[in-house]
Chain A
Amino acid sequence: MVISGETILSTAHADVGYRQGRHEKVVLTNLSLELRAHSLVCFMGPNGIGKSTLLRTLAGLQPLLRGGINLPRVEAGKSVAVVLTDRVQTYNMTVRDMVSLGRYPHLAWHTHLSASDDRIVDESIELVQLQNLQHQQVNELSDGQLQMVMIARALAQQTPLLILDEPTAHLDLNNRVEVMNLLRHLARTTGKGILVATHELDLALQTADEIWLATPDKSIRSGIPEDLVLDGSFDDVFQLKGFDLKTGKVKHQPFRQEKIRLIGEGYRFLWTKNALERMGFAVDPTATRAIEIHERDWRTDQGETFQSLRSLTDFLGQPRN
């Protein structure tokens, strides 16, 4: 279900980059982008194309070169919250202390948290499900937990827009999926617009409402993931080598002469096909040699029975006379 909300962030003919004295380096140019409430936007592109530069500019951390950014910039720190790649290492700071830092734009100089600030901190910690760790020292957390804490800190800022730079870098697969699912859930439930720079092609395709794709000609193509896959935009940008986006799989060149017909269905069919293709067989419904996939085993048309795919592929791999 995609709920299209109001526009939170938009840019008009924006140029981003760096200015040093008179010298100007434009990284991305003529950007007209739009980000809506309730949506998760994944921002992708090859390394070094300037993803961080755009994110920092949108977050107000560095000046825009030209054009305009429209943001409900009520007061600094209250419209955009960020999670950056900067490694955070602290001493004597608990998870709760760290999340409380997110309330700072709303606090007076003495940093006293009111009851409602405390409640917002509680809620933010609950959203990332770290209640059990809230009195733990931040420097004792795992990378995945630390990333969740930084997300909770950004949530406590209660901004309409959340920007995250590579939040899944350095995380293992499980944590990567968890972070992306959380962000998607947050976009749906809190109504925030969430912009994530990421390298996780497969995860982004499955979770994003929209993709911004930075192209080598310094512009950004935007669209829903499926459109960008089908019109070949991803292939243009990433020049994928051996990965077929349309099937979402690594391409295999059948290097054996043999074709095999598979009879079966469901997950067992898919993974059997995967194993055979990896071994260099072509799976072809017209082939004469056939393998039947059963509930507990695999049977060839010659009558051999195998309990595991390893024994099956070992058998098929032997030279036949």
Chain B
Amino acid sequence: MSENTGIDEKTYGELREIADRYPHARSGLLPMLHLVQSAEGSVTPEGIEACAEILGISAAEVSGVATFYTMYKRRTVGDYHVGVCTNTLCAVMGGDQIFAELKDHLGVGNDETTEDGKITLEHVECNAACDFAPVVMVNWEFMDNQTPESAKQLVDDLRSGTEVSSTRGARLCTWREAERVLAGFPDGRADEGPAAGPASLVGLELARENGWKAPEK
């Protein structure tokens, strides 16, 4: 147990647990930083120190990693991280307009958090859901086929505490709860939501209608 890092005992123990999962402890660093975010709300100097101490590397080495990856945040993230895809396909299909209207509606810029601490807005790169464009991610859950109106309704619901479910995932949890799952601590919600969204099934349904299938052995 660390005397110096300012990280609580439970989190420190779990950070060690992550490092122990791997043949070489340092492989645990990315999930460890996810856990730091879950516990601290961002990658804090205390979290960096704790990772460094456990892995026997310098704080500078941990910082070098933390600053490389876009999911790691140096400022406290709100309860809901709202990511609007503005890579080309989503942007053209309406992502640019959704992002512009959300900035206006929430009164924040890119990578900023609303005053009530509820929403952090950010434009994100392609999230591998192009057949559901335009896509908005909330705490890295899919909100498919959005419009400016649906996206504004979405953030209003999140701010007012209305329960919201992903269009093909679970009921939305907080950003810090999501980060804990990414660190490798399941939250028991795998069974929520459908197996696939409608676009994922288009080809399969056509094949069934037409009796198309792979050859028999």
A in complex with B: no
Chain B residues within 8 Å of A, Cβ to Cβ:
none
